[in-house]
Amino acid sequence: MAVDMMKKVPVREQEPKVRATNFDEVCLGYSQEEAVEEAARCLNCKNPKCVEGCPVHINIPGFIEQIKTGDFKKAYDVISESSSLPAVCGRVCPQETQCEQRCIRGIKGEAVSIGKLERFTADWAKENGVKPTPAAEKNGHKVAVIGAGPAGLTCAGDLAKLGYDVTIYEALHKAGGVLAYGIPEFRLPKDKVVEKEIENVRSLGVKIETDAVIGQATTVDELMNEEGFEAVFIGSGAGLPRFMNIPGETALGVFSANEFLTRNNLMKAYRDDYYTPIHRGKKVVVVGGGNVAMDAARTALRLGAEVHIVYRRSEEELPARREEVHHAKEEGIIFDLLTNPVEIIEDEETGWVKAIKCIRMELGEPDASGRRSPVEIEGSEFIIDCDTVIMSLGTSPNPLISSTTVGLDINKRKCIIADEENGKTTKEGVFAGGDAVTGAATVILAMGAGKAAAKGIDEFIKSQNA
Amino acid sequence: MYKILSAEKLNAVIYKMVVEAPLVAKHCLPGQFIIVKVGEEGERIPLTICDYDRKAGTITIVFQPIGQSTQKMAELEAGDAFDDFVGPLGRPSDLVETPIEELKKRKMVFIAGGVGTAPVYCQVKWLHENGITADVIIGCKSHDILIMEEEFKKVSNLYVTTDDGSYQRKGMVTQCLSDLIDKEGKKYDWCVAIGPMIMMKFVCKMTEEYGIHTVVSMNPIMVDGTGMCGACRLVVDGQVKFACVDGPEFDGHKVDFDGAMKRMRMYKTEEGREILKKQEGDTHHGGCGQCGGDE
């Protein structure tokens, strides 16, 4: 078959009907032949725009050149210079708005499938036991990282490569942050990908202390004053769920997406051999339109429910990745757009959710930010019967660390104030990045922030010891 | 791993363990809780701290097995270990942030029910160490399940009441409280009640009538215990609160107990189903009336 150079080499996926009944990964990834074929579409631009689109600036044409020649090990080494979590990023980055959006191929045809090639390279490295290269020697300086999510793991990995003695403190019993508790197995396999990727960070010499809730078990000030850490990076994320504050929200069967996903992903409640229970609804309404809403909806579907997504704007404004919306539709998720809940109705006898009352919306004129805000259509209330409601309205940073650290300033959205360039906060020696600074954003932006902070910390410690 | 230094069965239903957890022991205060997990497949179980020893780096926990996970916990022996032991979590009791002189002016009564006796001990002992001996009422079904009597005698004025009258006083803790006030001339202006939600609810009803400020320690369903999921949310004074970060202690007269008790039922059927499956094995046919059989 002739290869159409204008189009991406298609990637194999599980059939929608089959995958809707299991938690196995949807996208199966490229084979070696497919990867080499797709790599051949890269024009190896002299001034590669794709690299600018990548928040951690991976040398994209560089690693793709190695795939072309079949040297996958070298391709992995090139990626490892910039990224500690390529198997994760290749899977969950919104490439369509980052590297792939800038690809020259994308002007007339389809962009090079950079994400899928990165994923292929990282998966190949894992299967062949290739690991990132640790620092030649330690420099004797200690840095503490709070939170083992994408920002913390990246910062720790980069510092370890520079020779620092790094300890990550993680509140949960498993490292990974949102990679472990938030993003489901069918998008990001836990044992095969997340655990292995964290193993790679450990292999650089990074120590990870789980079950350590900073702000409670110990504080940032104690780490610096008593434990001898010269700098601290805060990558504690934005894990505090929002609710709508509408009547009926404490009814049985109403969950935050965080709770629903944590039970399912971190505690593996969907498996019979794990002890944590999960409510398997028959008809589930997920409120919200982001990636987390898609994840919750597709999880509920796999647990056997009919699932509706209720979102107050139209399809165009859905904040979720296109690929995820497409997958959700293929699997049979029903989208109730321009719809907003006003009340949750509970069964008076049992206390369980029995329906959700919604109102239809229309989009008004664009506001100052250019976004058309939804306006209620008077008298258009209607009822959707359901037994489960999952609130996916976004999250904000947990105040536990900021409230227990002397001199660490936050803004009115409770986000830590930090310099974008180097992660510097208002407290000397303390750096921050990721969702703790920006509010809920993406995995790759958190990694970019972790990377910038690692550089900032390196410069800070060198200046202190000059 | 967190080593279990001692494990003893206090009576037919209640277990006590001393666990090596230096970081928790270094920082915990009365009123706070921990989360334990047994095994890779285990769930995260919240337990209020009963006692701590900063020097030895240990935490004492007391629990009553009610579900599959706590049953599994009960099977552990000294020398075994918990996979995870997270804490301290939640806010400390207001006692530790109140000046001692203020506390000395308070006329305090602590009311403990069942396994809630353990967290009350942590607070009463702390007060005793600070020169204050409070009144304590322990309520239990019968004498044979009374726990920690000797420990309490050393640090408080203890009144025990049993539902069946098999030891000391007869009746519920509320009966005991009203007897102490109405018949024995006791005066209280501060009450701390810890026990089953239904007990705390009725204590609060009574203390509201007497005009006694009442603090309760809520024990809703939890998952992470750090404020990231809201499983433990409850309504206090019309506001939604997360017990794991805003509590677990709240003003008892402002807590929506009926709502909180309703939420406790959330996983009743799932839990019951698991226990039955385990106990009855192949013979399980759905006799609980809830699960409709195995499949």
Question: Is B28 assigned to a binding site?
Answer: no
Distance CA A448, CA B119 (A): 45
pLDDT at B294: 36
Domain B94-214: CATH class, spelled out: alpha beta
Which residue in chain B has the smallest CA separation from A392?
B229
Query: Tell me, what amino acid is at A344?
Result: I
Q: How confident is the model at residue B289 (pLDDT cuts 50, 70, 90)?
A: very low
Averaged pLDDT for residues B57-78: 92
pLDDT at residue B293 greater than cutoff 60: no
Residues of B in contact with A238 (CB under 8 A): none
Give the alpha-carbon dihedral of A256, A258, A264, A266, to 10 degrees.
Answer: -150
Burial class (CB in 10 A: 0-12, 13-18, 19+), A122: buried
Nearest C-alpha neighbor of B257 from the set B177, B188, B201, B173: B201
Which residue in chain B has the smallest CA separation from A274?
B41
Q: What stretches in chain A show pLDDT beneath 50?
A: 1
What ipTM score was computed for the predicted complex, to two decimals?
0.90
Residues of A in contact with B237 (CB under 8 A): none
pLDDT at B264: 84
pLDDT at A112: 97
For the residues of A64-96, what is the DSSP string, one character each?
Answer: HHHHHTT-HHHHHHHHHTT-S-HHHHHHHS-GG
| The CATH homologous superfamily of the domain defined by B2-89 | Translation factors (2.40.30.10)
Inter-chain residue contact A211 with B85, CB threshold 8 Å: yes
**Do A102 and A49 meet the contact criterion of CB atoms below 8 Å apart?**
yes
pLDDT at residue B295 greater than cutoff 60: no
Query: Tell me, what amino acid is at A163?
Result: G
pLDDT at residue B286 greater than cutoff 60: no
**Do A253 and A279 meet the contact criterion of CB atoms below 8 Å apart?**
yes
Mean pLDDT of the residues in chain B: 90
pLDDT at A433: 97
pLDDT at residue B244 greater than cutoff 80: yes
Q: What are phi and psi of A102, to 5 degrees?
A: -90, -5
pLDDT at B269: 62
Inter-chain residue contact B24 with A400, CB threshold 8 Å: no
Question: Is B232 assigned to a binding site?
Answer: yes
Ranges for all domains in chain B classified under CATH 2.40.30.10: 2-89
Question: Is B279 assigned to a binding site?
Answer: no
When scoring A169, A213, A254 by the number of chain B Cβ atoms within 10 A, the one with the most, hence best to mutate, is A213
Nearest to A398 among B37, B84, B228 (CB): B228
- How do residues B125-142 score in pLDDT, each as one tens digit? 999 999 999 999 999 999
Distance CA B156, CA B137 (A): 10
Residues of B in contact with A213 (CB under 8 A): 86-87, 89, 226
Q: Any idea what the Cα angle at residue A153 is, between residues A148 and A154, rounded to 5°? A: 150
Under DSSP, the state recorded for A416 is: B
What does the longest C-alpha to C-alpha distance in chain A come to? 71
Inter-chain residue contact A279 with B89, CB threshold 8 Å: no
Residues of A in contact with B223 (CB under 8 A): 259, 262-263, 267, 276
Residues of A in contact with B245 (CB under 8 A): 398, 400
Ranges for all domains in chain B classified under CATH 3.40.50.80: 94-214
- How, if at all, do strands B108-113 and B190-194 pair? parallel
Burial letters for A172-200: b for 16+ Cβ neighbours within 10 Å, e otherwise? bbbbbbbbbbbbbbbbbbbeebbbbbbeb
Question: Is B19 assigned to a binding site?
Answer: no
Hey, what are B137's tokens? 């009422």
Residues of B in contact with A241 (CB under 8 A): 228-230
Distance CA B275, CA B69 (A): 9
When scoring B33, B70, B86 by the number of chain A Cβ atoms within 10 A, the one with the most, hence best to mutate, is B86
pLDDT at B267: 76
Distance CA A237, CA B228 (A): 10
Hey, what are B151's tokens? 């420990």
For the residues of A124-153, what is the DSSP string, one character each?
Answer: HHHHTT--PPPPSS----EEEEE--SHHHH
When scoring A211, A348, A403 by the number of chain B Cβ atoms within 10 A, the one with the most, hence best to mutate, is A211
**Do B113 and B194 meet the contact criterion of CB atoms below 8 Å apart?**
yes
- How do residues B216-241 score in pLDDT, each as one tens digit? 999 999 999 999 999 999 999 999 99
Report the interhelical angle of A72-80 vs A60-68 (nearest 10°).
Answer: 170
